[in-house]
Amino acid sequence: MRSFAGRDILSLKDFEREEFFRVFEVADELAPIARNRRNSDILKEKTLVTAFYQPSTRTRLAHEGAMHRLGGHVTGFSDAKMTRAGDFYQESIKDTVKMLEYYGDVIVMRHFQQGAPQEAAKWSSVPVINAGDGWGEHPTQVLTDLYTVLNEKGTLDGLTFLAIGDMRMRTMHSLSYALSQFDSEIIYVSPPEMSLTDDFKKELEAYNLTFREAKHVADVIHEADVIYMEPVVQPDYTKSREEAKSDKGLTPENYRVTRQLLAEKARPDSIILHSLPRMDELPADVDITRHARYWQEAFNGVVMRMALLSLVLGAME
Ligand code: CP
Predicted confidence (pLDDT) per residue in 139-164, tens digit: 999 999 999 999 999 999 999 999 99
Same domain for 42 and 151, yes or no, is: no
Atom of ligand 1 nearest to the CA of 57: 7
246: confidence class by pLDDT, cuts 50, 70, 90 = confident
Q: What is the mean pLDDT of the chain?
A: 97
- Identify the residue whose C-alpha is closest to ligand 1 atom 3: 59
Same domain for 208 and 106, yes or no, is: no
Same domain for 121 and 177, yes or no, is: no
The answer as to whether 98 is a domain residue is yes
Q: Are 51 and 108 in contact (CB under 8 A)?
A: yes
268 CA to centre of ligand 1 in angstroms:
28
Q: Does 275 sit in the ligand 1 pocket, CB within 6 Å?
A: yes
Same domain for 281 and 179, yes or no, is: yes
Same domain for 201 and 170, yes or no, is: yes
Alpha carbon of residue 309 to chain centroid? 15
Same domain for 19 and 122, yes or no, is: yes
The answer as to whether 307 is a domain residue is yes
DSSP assigned state of 9 = B
Same domain for 166 and 123, yes or no, is: no
Same domain for 143 and 290, yes or no, is: yes
The answer as to whether 317 is a domain residue is no
Total number of domains constituting the chain: 2
- Name beta bridge partners: 212: 187
The answer as to whether 6 is a domain residue is no
The answer as to whether 101 is a domain residue is yes
91: confidence class by pLDDT, cuts 50, 70, 90 = very high
130 CA to centre of ligand 1 in angstroms:
12
Q: Does 54 sit in the ligand 1 pocket, CB within 6 Å?
A: no
Same domain for 158 and 280, yes or no, is: yes
- Domain span at residue 97 reads 12-137+298-312
317: confidence class by pLDDT, cuts 50, 70, 90 = confident
Same domain for 83 and 210, yes or no, is: no
Asked if residue 207 has pLDDT above 90, the reply is: yes
The answer as to whether 274 is a domain residue is yes
Atom of ligand 1 nearest to the CA of 61: 8
The answer as to whether 1 is a domain residue is no
DSSP assigned state of 271 = E
Alpha-carbon distance 236 to 112, whole Å? 9
215-228 pLDDT, tens digit each? 999 999 999 999 99
Cis preceding linkage at 277, omega within 30: yes
Mutational test site, ligand 1, from 275, 300, 302, max ligand atoms within 8 Å of CB: 275
Q: What is the mean pLDDT of residues 67-73?
A: 98
Same domain for 171 and 61, yes or no, is: no
**Residue 159 CB neighbour total at 10 angstroms:** 17
Q: Which of 48, 26, 82, 55 lies closest to 240 in space, CA to CA?
A: 55
Alpha-carbon distance 275 to 225, whole Å? 17
Same domain for 164 and 29, yes or no, is: no
The answer as to whether 222 is a domain residue is yes
264 CA to centre of ligand 1 in angstroms:
31
| CATH number (domain holding residue 56) | 3.40.50.1370
- Name beta bridge partners: 274: 229
